[in-house]
Amino acid sequence: MKAELDMTQQFDVSVVICTYNRCKLLPAALESVLDQQADSLSYEVVVVDNNSRDETRQVIESFIARGHNNLHYVFEGKQGLSHARNAGIANSRAPIVAFTDDDVRVERNWVATNKRALDEHPEVDFVGGKTLPRWEKEPPAWLTQRHWSPLALVDYGDQPFYADTENPVCLIGASLCVRRHVFNKVGLFSPEFQHFKGSVCGTEDHEFLTRIWDAGGKGLYLPDLFIIADVQAERVTKAYHRKWHWGHGYLLAKMRLAEIERSGSGRLFDVPAHLYRQAAVDALGWLKHALGGDAERAFAHETELRFFAGYFRKRREDFAATKERGTLGEIGAFVRSFASAKKQS
């Protein structure tokens, strides 16, 4: 179900916002994206209600009733961010599609800056920038910028750079602007990498960008393109971060990224040997900094161990499903390959 659209109307940019049960946060996001200094640009805002049970639809329709004729409501019953984004793409009309979130306030020149960046850089397929925090409560001392990834916060510094196979930096979907033809080339967002099993992590952004890079495309990070994101109190707890890193490891095990899959000395349960070595380093680092009273660095090592646990869990599940050989046989094969690599070195 969606509002009737005038498909003959042309826009320069389509802004897609996906939302789920956040009717109290949504108005601020809508106000920021509808109050743009867009100059002569024509842009639409497509809000995808991903099966909300609150007053999300009424909030959107109240904005439309105020005269925001470029605002459209779309309902998507399949749960998950990838399903919602794909519905937004299908119901948008511009050659450029910009994504943001329902708990975000974009700068007043955000639409114009995205459009100008793609006009000035025809060599890139997408652009992204900084996502800076608006804290609901004061963050704890351990939550330094090192721990921003689970909060979908991004600050890669004040110099622009390309994001490509040589520099595979993920520019997150809270502020991601993509040329429409890219979806025809590499496909849409994959539901396979959404949140799962109670996890608070999804890697659909990363997986989508990886497909662009694998197809020879690239993006551009612009430090002067930034948004402000609300950080809810429940997301600044260690419990939330532990769940995120476990889910991140599990999903990246599914993605099979080339930079992780490299292995010079064998694999155990299809996990590259270098990940076991890194886990050992992180275990020792956690113990050292925990005993030394450095909570921030100790927790950084702990989250890396949580990542490894999720990664190992997924690969162990897949290995068990193949029934290629038993646990003892796999360990024996690993030891033999490790010994052989040692002799050759």
Parse the chain into domains and list their residue ranges.
13-238, 262-344
Q: What is the mean pLDDT of the chain?
A: 91
What letter represents residue 335's amino acid? V
What pLDDT, on a 0 to 100 scale, did the predictor assign at position 198?
A: 65
Residues 307 and 149: their CA atoms lie apart, in Å, by 12
On whether the CB atoms of residues 227 and 128 are closer than 8 A, the answer is: no
Strand partners, 228: 105, 132
Residue 2 has pLDDT above 50, yes or no: no
Angle, CA of 242, 135 and 301, to the nearest 5°: 25
**pLDDT at 191 exceeding the cut of 50:** yes
From its phi and psi, is residue 143 left (phi > 0), alpha (psi between -120 and 50) or beta?
beta
Q: What distance in Å separates the CA atoms of residue 246 and residue 233, rounded to the nearest whole number?
A: 20
Sign, CA dihedral 31-33-37-41, equals negative
End-to-end CA gap in the chain = 64
- Cα Rg of the chain (Å, integer): 22
Residue 120 corresponds to which tokens in the numbers above?
């000035």
Q: What is the pLDDT of residue 266?
A: 81
Tens of pLDDT, residue by residue over 211-234, are: 999 999 999 999 999 999 999 999
> Which CATH number describes the domain made up of 13-238?
3.90.550.10
Q: How far, in Å, CA of 61 to CA of 58, rounded?
A: 5
pLDDT attached to residue 3 = 39
204 contacts 176 by C-beta, under 8 angstroms? no
pTM (two decimals): 0.90
Give per-residue pLDDT as tens, 24-45: 999 999 999 999 998 889 999 9
Label residue 332 by pLDDT band (50, 70, 90): low
For the stretch 49-73, pLDDT in tens is 999 999 999 999 999 999 999 999 9
- Condensed to tens digits (0 to 9), the pLDDT of residues 100-143 reads 999 999 999 999 999 999 999 999 999 999 999 999 999 999 99
CA distance 283 to 150: 21
